[in-house]
Structure 1
């Protein structure tokens, strides 16, 4: 790293995944990095032009070390929470330490993990262990990009998320639907990572630098909105009237508990229901902008138009597009 002003070599796990593809696209658009996709043996995923492929066997840690040697940053995007994701991350961060990778962006892409009560309630305590392990190893530093949920995915996916059932013309509000949370579009998530890794490693004048985010959370967002704001946007972009909709209200704490009960009975949708409900609690835990501030300006992120992305969400719902929940921001 001596004498370097910017990092150049970036490896990513999950390069063609739900959010990985947006990160790769943004990195390629910057034109400053050599991007390597870490892929499992036997993968048939097709990589974009300009991306190098390194095939690994997660049961053979030496292949991970070989793939990561010489890399300056490792980005981890994985498709779900759970024991397999946890074990895979541990293998990756340990291999990164052995390979001497200076920077790791762990598999966060989610709600405010600095809030330990929130992290525990949404079953993300394992992410804390990954950060702790990186620091224990003492070679790499972590930078956890906190995004909250992906807006166009969450609004269009189903009423389990932001409460919209487009096909049924029903909107379910948690409490009165007035609690504001931060949310992000997928391209903004990608830009945030690319812009972060494009920062100078160090600066002498206090300007944003990569080393300024060593072992820190990075807070980025597209919108600070309530469900009422979302619903008003849906009305604008679809030309529908409020009286054409069935509006429902659910107690947010009861919705969280009901989802957890469903999850414990073995139904995955129960977890999604609980995850989203918890972030709309009136404790303000979903509004990290108010509690932590944002790094949008430091990273040069553009302002976005809410209605434009509501239209994308409606189009997704009409097309039946499903991404497959993952990385917390499901």
Structure 2
């Protein structure tokens, strides 16, 4: 990628992403990314999974993955194991739980550099990391920045970040500390007046966004080519979204889905600034649930931080992402809450 145009590359240069390594292929977002990658017909996927130890031997975890997916088991304590698994890949996508060891992503980034993987998508899904207020008020921002800085420091890969807001169906179903709803008890707490709009995305939309981003050609054909290509987003965040919606609009959707009316709901109000401070205090006292409260509430501040569609613009059109039905995914959230699947 030292040269600017595909026409200037050596003979045999491949101007597209073909081989993709995916960490967390059976996880919450990983399975949607995997499905979308396979649907494009342009990618072959390798699922990177940890080697697990039993009392008698080392074995591979059984993953519910399509037969077309290659599974590579790795040992995170062995850098050679990681870099060997990544050799020959055009991109590495990292998805992992917040409970994963803190150094695990760093090890993957280092291994991608050692294996000369040109593109890395770190575990960057959620709120806009470039907003100064959010960066200062949400503690994980500094850790995310450190991962991106590590990629740039090594200088062998480019990074791509996905700004998609929080996942809609999960966040609506997960309880009052998230989008303010207890769906089963028919309670909602509006932050401020409940009219602040934020961008939020469904799991399938995030999966499509990643797959279609990696389906773009890598470089422009020549100096006259202004069509979309991956190089234009090198070391940048890509903003995508399913809905720009307020809590009140979420409630309207929930009422349509459940056949309820306002009188059926217990509605409360809380100042977003005070709710954020309460979450911070809970974290200080050791209650990890306070983190979800402070993070989600901060996105609803009236400084527009959660509405990145208005401030940054979306890449939905460039990627050909569909317009989704809010009620369809509200219904999924209601079912998740009823079945306690969060």
What is the TM-score normalised by the length of structure 2?
0.91
* Higher RCO structure (Cα 8 Å, ≥6 apart): 1
SS of residue in 2 equivalent to 1:26? helix
Which of 173, 178, 182 is the aligned partner of 1:156?
173
In 1, Cα distance between the equivalents of 2:189 and 2:257? 19
Which of 171, 182, 200 is the aligned partner of 1:183?
200
Structure 1: give runs of 5+ residues left out of the alignment: 323-330
Residue 31, structure 1, aligned to residue 41, structure 2: yes
In 1, Cα distance between the equivalents of 2:114 and 2:133? 33
Residue of structure 2 in register with 1:66 after alignment: 84
Q: Note the alpha carbon deviations across 1:69-118, whole angstroms, 9 max, x for none.
A: 11110000010068x23x11111111100100000001010100111331
Q: Note the alpha carbon deviations across 1:228-252, whole angstroms, 9 max, x for none.
A: 1101111111110101111000111
Q: What is the root-mean-square deviation of aligned Cα atoms in Å?
A: 1.2
Residue of structure 2 in register with 1:307 after alignment: 327
Q: Note the alpha carbon deviations across 1:56-78, whole angstroms, 9 max, x for none.
A: 11011110010011111000001
SS of residue in 1 equivalent to 2:267? strand
Which of 123, 128, 131 is the aligned partner of 1:115?
131
Where do 1:151-230 residues align within 5 Å?
151-204=168-221, 205-230=225-250
SS of residue in 2 equivalent to 1:298? helix
In 2, Cα distance between the equivalents of 1:24 and 1:44? 16
SS of residue in 1 equivalent to 2:117? coil
What is the TM-score normalised by the length of structure 1?
0.94
Residue of structure 1 in register with 2:303 after alignment: 283
Question: 1:45, CA displacement in angstroms?
Answer: 3.0
SS of residue in 2 equivalent to 1:187? helix
Residue of structure 2 in register with 1:15 after alignment: 25
Structure 2: give runs of 5+ residues left out of the alignment: 2-9, 53-60
Greater C-alpha radius of gyration: 2
In 2, Cα distance between the equivalents of 1:120 and 1:107? 19
